[in-house]
Amino acid sequence: MSLSPGTKLGPYEIQALLGAGGMGEVYRANDKRLDRMVAIKVLPSHLSSDRDRIQRFEREARTISSLNHPHICALYDVGTQSSVTFLVMEFLQGETLADRLQRGALPIREALKIGKEIADALSKAHCLGIVHRDLKPGNIMLTKSGAKLMDFGLAKPAAPVLGVAASAADPLTPSKPTVTLASLASPQTQKGEILGTFRYMSPEQLQGRDADGRSDIFAFGAVLYEMATGKRAFEGKSQLSVASAILEKEPQPVSSLQKASPPALDHLIATCLAKNPDGAGACPCGPESPSRSPGRNVRRGACLRCSARVLAAMAAVCVTCEDRVLHLSS
């Protein structure tokens, strides 16, 4: 569905198309009541016609509208008009992190600054029980006031990639495949947009488990790695090879690619990218430190309370690393 300039959705007047994707089209619009610029996301008709999906979407939208953080794109309103369901969001000027990464790695100090802002925003969301579910460079906007997280999983189906929800008898094994091996083996040129999200999925998501706070932490580590090195943490020519890398391989340490990178950053990223989301033992719901030696039993956070604390600790590590880089460069 395309809206022409001048189309009105309640008090909002469409001005121009900003972009389009699988989850709908985004427009620049003017809020006639407050005379301010906003961004409006129009949901696809196959979502707008599902009453149950709309009710869940509206409940989630109300929850996300409570997120008040300088590094989270604000959600102002949600509405439906003539079978068109839409979101009204803060209008952001700048470029996405994905666009910035087209020009290569960020300076280590800048990458750490953005990393702290992302971790702070995710920690705030997790404290309120909200999981992003789709953290990637394309959902991070770089503005004059800093990084802004966008698209907190609004109206996104929770279907797993390699299977339906894992069975209780075997929580790590998908009970039924939903994507064929042929589709996973498709080349990047044919499935570029899908691979763009696929590369930041956690091992447990690929194994058919629901995304939670620990999945956000994994994606955060992958994004931080890419900012610091200019390379993706997990490479492959197809979805199948990328999935294999996520499940089995470890990325090359940042310090081996960037001499200015402090050793603590390697530990931070390795903790984020730990293959096992639970680590050893039960969730302690206590403070976690990302400075421990990384390994297969490192915990990313076993519940949203833990993941919020992990992310807060990671934000602090980013500050420490940034200070270290500044000291070395002065």
Instruction: Please spell the DSSP secondary structure of 99-131, one letter per residue.
Output: HHHTT-PPPHHHHHHHHHHHHHHHHHHHHTT--
Q: If pLDDT is split at 50, 70 and 90, which confidence band does 159 have?
A: very low
pLDDT at residue number 316: 84
Task: Give the pairing type, strands 84-90 and 36-42.
Answer: antiparallel
Helix axes 213-229, 108-127, angle to 10 degrees: 170
pLDDT at residue number 301: 60
Q: Does the pLDDT value for residue 267 go beyond 60?
A: yes
Q: If pLDDT is split at 50, 70 and 90, which confidence band does 169 have?
A: very low
pLDDT at residue number 133: 85
| 95-329 classified as CATH 3.40.50.300 | no
Q: What is the DSSP letter of 240?
A: H
Percent of the chain with pLDDT over 70: 75
CATH superfamily, domain 8-90, is Phosphorylase Kinase; domain 1 (3.30.200.20)
Structure tokens at 319: 């500050």
Average of per-residue pLDDT across 140-151: 95
Q: Does the pLDDT value for residue 161 go beyond 60?
A: no
pLDDT at residue number 116: 92
Q: Does the pLDDT value for residue 156 go beyond 60?
A: no
Catalytic center residues: 134
Cα distance between residue 325 and residue 128, in whole Å: 33
Q: Does the pLDDT value for residue 284 go beyond 90?
A: no
pLDDT at residue number 321: 82
Cα distance between residue 148 and residue 92, in whole Å: 8
Least confident window among 7-16, 86-95, 117-126, 179-188: 179-188
Tens digit of pLDDT for each residue in 195-239?
Answer: 447 889 999 888 888 778 889 999 999 999 999 999 999 999 888
Q: Fold match between 8-90 and 95-329?
A: no
What is the Rg, in whole angstroms, of the alpha carbon atoms belonging to the chain?
A: 20
Average of per-residue pLDDT across 13-40: 91
pLDDT at residue number 176: 33
Q: Does the pLDDT value for residue 266 go beyond 80?
A: yes
| Average per-residue pLDDT for the chain | 79
pLDDT at residue number 299: 56
Domain boundaries, the chain: 8-90, 95-329
What percent of the chain is helix, strand and coil (3-state, nearest 5)? 40, 15, 45
Average of per-residue pLDDT across 242-271: 92
Contact by Cβ (8 Å): 109, 325:
yes
Tens digit of pLDDT for each residue in 52-102?
Answer: 777 777 777 877 888 899 999 999 998 889 888 898 999 999 999 999 999
Least confident window among 97-111, 159-173, 308-322: 159-173
Query: How many residues comprise the chain?
Result: 330
Q: If pLDDT is split at 50, 70 and 90, which confidence band does 294 have?
A: very low
pLDDT at residue number 205: 87
* pTM of the entire predicted model: 0.80
